[in-house]
Amino acid sequence: MTTDLQGLDAGYLAFWRERHLCTLTTPRPDGSPHVVPVGVTYDPERRLARVVADKASTKVRNILAAGPEGARVAVCQVDGRRWATLEGRAHVRTEPDRIAEAERRYAERYGRTPRVNPTRVVVEIEVTRAMGHG
C-alpha cells in the first residue's frame, strides 16, 4: 500500500525506529538493481533517509554514476507480515556535519556507534514515496 508522506501513522514511523536490518536498492550503470543489506534511519520531518557507507562501496559508486541529479533508490525492511519501503532520490554527502548526524541517528536506532571509518560518507535519500503494511 502506498502511504501519504504527510499522514504516516504512528505505527509506521515506530517501525522505522525499531532495530531492523534493511536493504538498499541502487541502479547499476546498466540499469539492473544492486541490492545490499544496510542500516537505515528515517527523519520524517525532513523526509530524509540516511545510510552510512564507505565511499569505495558499490552502492556509493552506483549513486555517483547517476550524475549530479542523484539516483532513484529504495530502502526496505521486513519483519514477519510488517514491511516498509521508502523511495526517493539519493545523493552522496561528504560533509563532516552530515556524516556525524547520520552516525548519531544510526547509534540511536541500532544501539551502537558505527565503527571508525575515515572514508565514510552518507547516502541521503530525499523520500518521495512510502509504502508498507505495519
Residue 116 sits at the vertex; the CA angle it makes with 114 and 120, to the nearest 5 degrees, is 85
What is the pLDDT, as a whole number, of residue 2?
A: 61
Q: How are beta strands 71-79 and 22-27 bridged, if at all?
A: antiparallel
Average pLDDT for residues 73-79, to the nearest whole number? 98
C-alpha cell belonging to residue 64: 555517483
C-alpha cell belonging to residue 57: 562501496
Looking at every residue in the chain, the average pLDDT score rounds to 95
Higher pLDDT, 6 or 27: 27
pLDDT digits (tens, 9 = 90+) for 115-130: 999 999 999 999 999 9
- The single residue listed with the C-alpha cell 539516483 is 71
pLDDT digits (tens, 9 = 90+) for 50-66: 999 999 999 999 999 99
Average pLDDT for residues 91-110, to the nearest whole number? 98
* pLDDT band (50, 70, 90) for residue 47: very high
pLDDT digits (tens, 9 = 90+) for 33-46: 999 999 999 999 99
